[in-house]
Amino acid sequence: MTSLLEIKNLVKTYSKQPEPALDDVSIKVEKGEVVVIIGASGSGKSTLLRCINRLVEPNEGEILLEGENILDPTYNVNVLRQNVGMVFQSFNLFSHLTVIKNLTLGLTKVKGIPIDEATNVAMDILERVDLADKADNYPAELSGGQQQRVGIARALAMSPKLMLFDEPTSALDPELVGEIISIMLSLAKEHMTMLVVTHEIGFAREAADRIIYMDKGKIIEEQPGNKLLTDPQHPRTKQFLQRIRK
């Protein structure tokens, strides 16, 4: 059976950057799996996620989504992006659109769903993230936690096959982190396939089917379940875990 996502020997070197941001990275993600990536700042985690929905074009390697090479020039990048939802560290809500319009824009413009139907779909999803009462507010009128819930809802609205989370809680005040984590946990329970960059060890421990440690653009260690947290093998993983646990 083909994996939902298979990354083979991915290399990305930014121009004017001597060191590669991604150096021969290979990852497999099966349908329904939750894979957590941890690693120091600048280790290439964001670059990896951004390659997967082609916000960044890698230099070498392959990315297969359900067996199809998404880096192929003939592959439609806008179809790819419908299938891959992205949640950003800084939310990136469309600031001139209300919450509900943030969700319906993609449905109407990309999927061509009529606005009434799109609004119904969007309201259902807003209810899931407990924000139905904020549907007509603008992003600036929401708390950080609420904004990130909209960010997740916006990605979910497109019914993606894979959700990418790039440090979804690291721009939030500590007391707001919980509401995002609990939504992500419930997604994990519903077997949403997720690739999550986070330093929320609690989430990793509870939800991860696999945890990957990256450093300097390379995968240093990869372990099933939360073995990487409880029993890290590589000295650099141990060092990193010690540092973030302090």
Partner 1 sequence: MVTPYDIIAAFFHNVYLSLVSIYVFFIQYAPLLWQGFLITLQISAFSIMFGVVLGVFAALMKISSNVILRSLATGYIEIFRGTPLVVQILFIAFGYPLLLQNVFNVNLVAGSWNNPTGFWKAIMALSLNTGAYQAEIIRAGISSIPKGQMEAARSVGLTYGEAMRHIILPQAFRIITPPLTNEFINIVLNSSLVILIPVQDLTFWGNQIVSATFRVMETWTIVGGLYFSMTLLLSRLFQYLEEKYRIPGVGFSTKGGTPRLA
**Nearer to ligand ATP among residue 39 and residue 232 (C-beta):** 39
**One-letter amino acid for residue 47 of the chain:** T
The listed partner (ligand ATP, partner 1, Mg ion, none) that binds 158, CB under 5 to 8 Å by sort, is partner 1
Of 45, 81, 149, 210, the one binding ligand ATP by CB under 6 A: 45
Count of residues near ligand ATP by CB under 6 A: 11
Establish if 42 lies at the interface with ligand ATP (CB under 6 A). yes
In this structure, are residues 200 and 177 in contact, taking their beta carbons and an 8 Å threshold?
Answer: yes
Q: Cα-flanking dihedrals φ and ψ of residue 182, to 5°?
A: -70, -35
Residue 73: strand, helix, or coil: coil
Query: What Cα–Cα distance (Å) separates residue 245 from each residue in 32, 155, 169, 240, 241?
Result: 29, 31, 17, 9, 6
Name which of 89 and 223 has its Cβ closer to partner 1. 89
Taking CB under 8 A as the criterion, the residue among 78, 112, 116, 190 binding partner 1 is 78
Q: Which two tokens stand for residue 221?
A: 């260690």
Q: Which of ligand ATP, Mg ion, partner 1, none binds 94 (CB below 5-8 Å, type-dependent)?
A: partner 1
Q: Which of residues 11-40 bind ligand ATP (CB under 6 A)?
A: 14, 17, 21, 39
Backbone angles phi, psi at 228, to 5 degrees: -60, -30
Q: How far is CA 178 from CA 102, 120, 126, in A?
A: 23, 27, 18
Angle at 212 between CA 51 and CA 45, to 5 degrees: 35
Q: How far apart are CB 92 and ligand ATP at their closest, in Å?
A: 14
Asked if 46 touches Mg ion (CB under 5 A), the answer is yes
Contact 21, 48 (CB under 8 A): no
Determine which residue in the list 36, 47, 122, 152 makes contact with ligand ATP, applying CB under 6 A.
47
Q: Is 47 in the site for Mg ion (CB under 5 A)?
A: no
Whole-angstrom Cα distance, residue 122 to residue 109?
Answer: 14
The answer to whether residue 140 forms part of the interface with partner 1 (CB under 8 A) is yes
Q: Does 115 bind partner 1 (CB under 8 A)?
A: no
Question: Minimum distance from CB of 217 to ligand ATP (Å)?
Answer: 7
131 and 141 Cβ atoms separated by less than 8 Å: no
> Which letter does DSSP use for residue 160 in this model?
-
Which residues contact partner 1 by CB under 8 A? 53, 55, 78-79, 81-82, 84-86, 88, 90-96, 105-106, 109-111, 138-141, 154-155, 158
